[in-house]
A and B are shown apart, each in its own frame.
Chain A
């Protein structure tokens, strides 16, 4: 068998001091653990946040009525009456939220757009809910529960994970509002809009995890909302669900091209959260690189100690004809062996930690984050990056030490000159 002698020597070198070798593998394993765990835990946390913010509380894409901007109106006036005729103009007559007309045609066009899996119309307007002396400003959202649940997974906020059927006088309110009003399911509240005032029965109490939504939000049926706000058959907007979150940008661009409406996707709606995530990602990347650098320096030191301790052996090898490339190869094989076992140790440890967290998740402030707890779950990219960084640092350490080994003058080492 032509087993390269470099492989044989590397193996024998590693097994001669099992303690040292195990310590190096363990050290690398810990570095891998840190490099996998930090980005994974941050990613898991923000995935949960986005899941809560987007999947459970808003649509991937929302089609709103087009608002004429002041600039457009201004330009129209200037072009009609001349530049000097318009000194200052504010379009106060135009409603901020005009209703969406022709919703069925729009919904049909939206549903045909590639990447769209479900469309639901909804009404969203301001009202006041009161009971006794307590009055609360509320956002009333009119939905068709079955249709809307296919777009936004609000069912998870309700008991038994089911959105109840809402009759003409039924309302579902958040648990904080219920506490504030001192009300339970089956009891009644007054709901006042600019057009009407009616007594409604609390059909269900939900818990969204968002303070504002749990305190200032109520769901009624779409038809009821249209009546309460005098909207006829119109709605406020269309909610669109895409095949996946990542497609929302493409889908919203396609929708914008197909209809003259304002189209916003979840990324527009959560711009500040995404900016925060980007910052955290930069920090975790920096920490990863820092860990990799510290580990690299450590590994390079250990390897140069290896070379220092084995100077005589390396010189003997050179004396009996081993090439410089062979010396580098021996160190490289040792490094790769440590890398393989070290990364297996690191990945196993981090998976163990994650499995523990699944059973004992972290608790966080639900009022602040909208989620009460979270656990780190494996993020394949983090594993890939950590294993690659570990490989790079091991190869770099081995090559650096290998260069030093290759520069050894065998005569100087053997004869001590």
Chain B
């Protein structure tokens, strides 16, 4: 199992204590595409942040590739996050002063890959997400959809075991959203990327093979809509036009 969440709890103290997650148990196999759905404030993003190691749980544990990630030291955690996890956030979290290629290459550079190798890999990925002609553009010179595709390419540059996406189409128009949805689907089906995604989009939920519904910090349903992706050989994506 790629991901195992065991008895996960998260609460905040203060005048009015908030219990965000209650005893969450979740497993995710390799090449699965899981969509977390639920109303706002249900705790989806908090769960994603804890799995992504950006936040710490109050109780329970998260195992990724059998590693209890929240018990790693700071240095090991940074390495783990860099090598095994890819993120796509709601906002396009790109560094504004770097070009698209530099943004994509950043996680590879952080993992101390040689500059040329990291740039080549970034170039390949940007080509795969249909941005071959935008390599030298800065985020400010790209559209929302293009920026989100740069985010996707950056998330994939270190070939992560798990891609975490938090409402990746929330701020995009319908047409652009469709392009991103298609791209994520292809990533899962053609490249076998394991995806855990928080979303409201019906279309994106349909694309996922498994849908987990959240309410008040609890999982209320877990249904599989498709069998786990059968792609065994990773192959290149067809550049999408967005």
Contacts and interface: CB of A to CB of B under 8 A. Distances in A.
B109 A321 contact: no
B135 interface: no
Given A316-B93, A320-B107, A324-B74, A1 B114 contact: yes
A76 interface: no
Contact of A320 (B49, B74, B75, B87): B87
Interface stretch (B29-37, B77-85, B181-189, B212-220): B77-85
A316 B102 CA distance: 14
Contacts of B222: none
Interface residues of A, number: 26
Interface centre among B45, B78, B116 (most CB of A within 10 A): B78
B95 interface: yes
A3 B112 CA distance: 9
A195 interface: no
A415 B20 CA distance: 15
Given A3-B115, A321-B78, A323-B74, A316 B54 contact: no
Contacts of A12: 97-98, 102
Contacts of A3: 115
Interface centre among A3, A9, A312 (most CB of B within 10 A): A9
Given A13-B97, A313-B95, A414-B89, A319 B54 contact: yes
Interface centre among B75, B112, B115, B154 (most CB of A within 10 A): B115
A80 interface: no
Contacts of B96: 16, 313
B141 interface: no
Given A12-B98, A411-B54, A321 B112 contact: no
Contacts of A8: 102, 109, 115
Nearest to A13: B97
B55 A322 contact: no
Nearest to B90: A415
Interface string B109-153: 111101110000000000000000000000000000000000000
Interface string B46-77: 00010010110000000000000000001100
B81 A321 contact: yes
A1 B115 contact: yes
B86 to A, nearest CB: 9
B101 interface: no
Nearest to B99: A12
B165 interface: no
A410 interface: yes
Contacts of B45: 415
B116 A321 contact: no
